[in-house]
Amino acid sequence: MDTELTKIVTAGTQIFQEGAPGDCAYIIQDGEIELSMLINGTPSAFATLKKGELFGEMALIDNSFRSATAVAKTNVELLIISRDYIAQKIELSDPTVRMLLQVVLERYRDIHARLHNVSESLKEHESTSANSTISSFFSQYLKLSSKLASAITNRQKSNHASKHINKDLESTSDSITKENNLKHALDNNEFELYYQPIVNMPQGTIAGCEALIRWNSPTLGFTPPDEFIGLAEKTGLIIPLGKWITEQACLAASEFRKHQNIYMSINLSAKQFESESFMTDIENAVKAARITNDCIKLEITESILMTNPELAETSLNKLKTAGFSIAIDDFGTGYSSFSYLHRFPIDTLKIDQSFVNAMFNNERSMEIVRSISLLAKNLNMKTIAEGIEGKNESQQLDKFGCDYGQGYMYSRPVPHDDFLHLLKSDSLPVPSAT
Ligand code: C2E
Ligand code: CA
Ligand code: CA
């Protein structure tokens, strides 16, 4: 795996050459570069690019050769965009956008090839008049290229569309940086698990906790999971990351259980759930922590069940037989279907926080929470209400017969040692932490 994220090039150095195969594109972070083409055997500059501009992308989009030579005009710092990154983005893009990109590029290459042919055929004439035609042709071509380049630059400075271009470049630059940083975060020990108590509502005691990942990136700062779990899924990092989460959560469960007999809830992503190593990984993590499978509750979303129901059924049955509990996370927000409630071995429904938050503003939300609690009871399943922030909510949920609650009212997710302290002091609700 290429681990270089940026490249420093000194003034005068060639970055790539026309006709060479291309393996990456660049965004200029600092400095200026010049693009030129060989016209009639002579290099002719046609554009100067500055900070924030992208170049070298064409050869990656259509897997062809560099159509220009790039030379650093000053010392430059470049952000590298790999071929894999571009290929992945194109693959994930809308098919119409993919087609437009291909057509535009083919047209550009076609014009380029025609100009080249004209140049070659003119070169074959040796007469003075032909030479003067060549000179006049190329001086016109260069004028046109340079007009085009400055028109693009002016457009970037003033036009409404340029706002999008600049914004897109900025967000491309951000997401490449994030993706590159994420690749190294696991090796650099930048992840940490936080734990949020899950409370037995009638008794007011801690029954379990949910492990929630945090990324403390030295360059991006504290980054919430919603901003990187999706990226970890796309890049495949979720497999080693998910394994690490499972191992850490099992070790923490073993530690916590020395003080109180609680269970550990672990979130599973779709890719992790579908991976071949998942079952072995989790069983090994449990063994290494010297706990038993029944201390672990696995949280999966409705979409995991619906995307590949056959695989989900086989895997969930295996997990259930091995003694793990299974909870449906964010229940009611996905493709809720009664069919999976009887098809899959589910123990617990986690009522999504959007319903809990809206209970006192919206009668329907109140009714949904009541109905889910009743449905779960009738199906012999447990319910956990998420996002409880106020006493009025917890009282109402208790009245509905909801078994467990989780939310800022009891405690925010806290680091390992703070959670241990929470267990030892046995005091809920606690003052808010991070
Ligand atoms: P989730 O599984 O639904 O986790 C609950 C989220 O609600 C957590 O956000 C938690 O901090 C937040 N929360 C808890 N109580 C309250 C409350 O009273 N009010 C409000 N407003 N929020 C509350 P967090 O930690 O930012 O996690 C967001 C999502 O990221 C999680 O949603 C889960 O889908 C994903 N995630 C977190 N950790 C992991 C992990 O280890 N593995 C995987 N695959 N996904 C994870
Ligand atoms: Ca969850
Ligand atoms: Ca949830």
Using a CB cutoff of 8 Å and minimum separation of 24, what contacts does 303-306 make?
303/270, 303/334, 303/335, 304/268, 304/270, 304/273, 305/340, 305/344, 306/334, 306/335, 306/337, 306/340
Residues 29/53, Cβ–Cβ less than 8 Å: no
The answer for residues whose C-beta is within 8 angstroms of residue 157's C-beta and 6 or more apart is: none
Q: Nearest bound ligand to CA 226?
A: 1
For ion ligand 2, residues whose CB falls within 5 Å? 267, 299, 329
Tokens at residue 209, please?
């906790």
Query: Tens-of-pLDDT digits for all 434 residues of the chain?
Result: 445 678 999 999 999 999 898 888 999 989 999 998 887 777 888 889 998 888 988 878 777 788 889 999 999 999 988 888 888 778 778 778 888 887 887 887 777 677 667 766 766 665 556 556 666 666 666 566 556 555 555 555 555 555 666 777 777 777 788 888 898 999 999 999 999 999 999 999 999 999 999 999 998 899 999 999 998 998 889 999 999 999 999 999 999 999 999 999 999 999 999 998 999 999 999 999 999 999 999 999 998 888 888 999 999 999 999 999 999 999 988 777 778 888 899 999 999 999 999 999 999 999 999 999 999 999 999 999 999 999 999 999 999 999 999 999 999 999 999 999 999 987 765 433 33
Query: Is residue 330 lining ligand 1, measured as CB closer than 6 Å?
Result: yes
Instruction: Identify the CA nearest to 235 among candidates 193, 183, 284.
Output: 183
Ligand 1 centroid to Cα of residue 331, in Å, is 14
Ligand 3 center–CA 246 separation, angstroms? 18
Rounded Cα distance between 256 and 228, Å, is: 28
Domains of the chain, each with CATH number or no CATH: 6-162 (2.60.120.10), 189-425 (3.20.20.450)
Residue whose CA is at the smallest distance from ligand 1 atom 43: 267
Evaluate: CB of 247 within 6 angstroms of ligand 1: no
Distance 89 CA to ligand 1 centre (A): 27
The ligand with the least distance to the CA atom of 196 is 1
DSSP 225: G
The phi, psi pair for 72, rounded to 5°, reads -70, 125
Among protein residues, the one with the nearest Cα to ligand 1's atom 38 is 212
Q: Is 22 in the pocket of ligand 1 (CB under 6 A)?
A: no
69 lines ligand 1 (CB under 6 A): no
Residue to substitute in 216, 267, 269, 355 for testing ligand 1 pocket (most ligand atoms within 8 angstroms of CB): 267
Note the pTM of the prediction, 2 decimals.
0.77
Give the ligand with the smallest distance to the CA of 238: 1
Closest ligand to 213 CA?
A: 1
